[in-house]
Amino acid sequence: MEPLLCFPDPPPAAVPEALERAGLTWRAVADAEAADAGEPEDGWAGAVVATAPDPGAAFALCRRLRTREARLSPVILVVPAAHLAELKGREELFDDLCVEPVRTEELAVRVALLLHRCGKGARHELVTYGPLVLNLETYQAAVDGRVLDLTYMEYELLRFLASRPAKVFTRETLLSQVWGYEYYGGARTVDVHIRRLRAKLGEEHAHLIQTVRSVGYRFGQTQWSL
């Protein structure tokens, strides 16, 4: 995959850390002219543009990227909270944003998902379902861009369910498939982990894991699809 464009040069420290964590290559530029001069033959894979310390130059760069329809690159902004008001009327210049101070885990997930949605990422590395994204290589999960702090078994249970939406699984099946046949814990183990997952997903998204009375659990709703 072609490198991502980063602005400014040097970019905020969290940006290269997040991109390298996501396994992505990047190249920093000082302005729109440098972006044109250093552009790879097949175009930039995408752009991570920080509006500080020069919002005018940042928006000029975004505008330049947007006017080149043949090589349209997805753009994610890194914006200090004090600059949020300046985004009004400029929504067409970017596809997503992170508010500073940036959490590297969140930015890594957002960039990977944005590239995935634009057909520029490695699709096999992600499981997406509505607002939920699971990175199968980094064992990260995020909902609406918020990184979830999951234990290994919570992640494995969520991955198993999210990879098989709308299918109903008994507690015994989940125990054998997620924990393994040699695990001697009871069905209550599944209930405890489901309860923790719902709490970490948050009230708005807890319904993604549904209880099927007298049977077990099902993931997802009919309006979402993988």
| Each residue's pLDDT expressed in tens, for the chain with a length of 226 residues | 678 999 999 999 889 988 887 778 899 999 888 988 888 887 888 899 999 999 999 999 998 888 765 455 789 999 998 888 889 999 989 999 999 888 887 888 888 878 877 766 544 467 888 889 888 877 888 888 788 999 989 999 999 999 999 999 999 999 888 988 666 667 789 999 999 999 999 999 999 999 999 899 999 864 443 3
| 208 found inside a domain | yes
> For residue 102, what pLDDT is reported?
85
| 226 found inside a domain | no
Helical ranges in the chain per DSSP H = 14-21, 32-37, 55-66, 104-117, 152-162, 171-174, 188-201
Phi, psi of 28 (to 5 degrees): -90, 145
Residues 96 and 165 grouped into a single domain? no
Query: Structure tokens of 24?
Result: 């992505």
| 57 found inside a domain | yes
> For residue 70, what pLDDT is reported?
45
| 209 found inside a domain | yes
Domain limits for position 200? 149-219
**pTM for the whole thing?**
0.58
| 143 found inside a domain | no
The side-by-side arrangement of strands in the sheet containing 126-129 is 126-129, 132-135, 140-143, 146-147
Least Cα distance to 49 among 12, 83, 7, 85 occurs for 7
Burial, 30: exposed, middle or buried (Cβ in 10 Å; 0-12, 13-18, 19+)? middle
| 100 found inside a domain | yes
Total number of domains in the chain: 2
| 141 found inside a domain | no
Residues 27 and 63 grouped into a single domain? yes
Q: What is the largest CA-CA distance in the chain?
A: 64
For residue 218, the SS3 value is: strand
